[in-house]
Amino acid sequence: MVDADGFRPNVGIVLANGKGTGQVLWARRVGGHDAWQFPQGGINDGETPEQALYRELHEEIGLTEHEVKVVARTKGWLRYRLPRRLRRYNSTPGFVGQKQKWFLLEMLADDSAVRMDRGPKPEFDHWDWVSFWYPLTQVVDFKRDVYRRALAELAPHLPLSD
């Protein structure tokens, strides 16, 4: 499903560890030659952003809605354009990029609950806890502005220990 402007609806997931350290889950893409990102994925036809969040959370990192708590979400859609070289013209005509709703979650389960092999085709092969702002220095250029805006909006809600 692509909107009239060529953007596919998507959810982005910032998962904070449950220890109140301000660290978030950062995952390495399979075959991505050291390409790391937050879990994210498309919203299917007839699916709400919340339903997509829980589906993607389980498919990509193996967690269920009972193992996390939604702490905050971005108010509107945040958009990024894919570079022309990365667009698949044969699959979605008019596709130019993603429009995303971002969610900040707190993990309630132990680290051992994170599993990258629950979906039909694993997208990640490794993960780590990193500081909240670290991803801004590491994500691919075309996603950097969306990451900056999402993290800035979610930062006031980051679960921290007293």
Tens-digit pLDDT profile for residues 99-138: 999 999 999 999 999 999 887 889 999 999 999 999 999 9
| pLDDT of res. 93 | 63
Domain residue spans of the chain: 7-157
Burial class (CB in 10 A: 0-12, 13-18, 19+), 31: exposed
Name the pLDDT band for 34 (thresholds 50, 70, 90): confident
Question: Does residue 42 carry a pLDDT above 80?
Answer: yes
**7-16 vs 97-107, strand pairing mode:** parallel
Q: Is the pLDDT of residue 65 over 80?
A: yes
Q: Which residues pair with 130 in a beta bridge?
A: 24
The rounded distance, in Å, linking the Cα atoms of 112 and 110 is 5
The class level of CATH for 7-157 reads alpha beta
Which residue, among 157, 141, 65, has the nearest Cα to 102 in the 3D structure?
157
Q: Are strands 78-81 and 97-107 parallel, antiparallel or unpaired?
A: antiparallel
Helix%, strand%, coil% for the chain, nearest 5? 25, 35, 40
Please give the pLDDT value at position 138: 92
Model pTM score: 0.92
Ramachandran angles phi, psi of 122, nearest 5°: -55, 135
Provide mean pLDDT across the span 146-159. Answer: 96
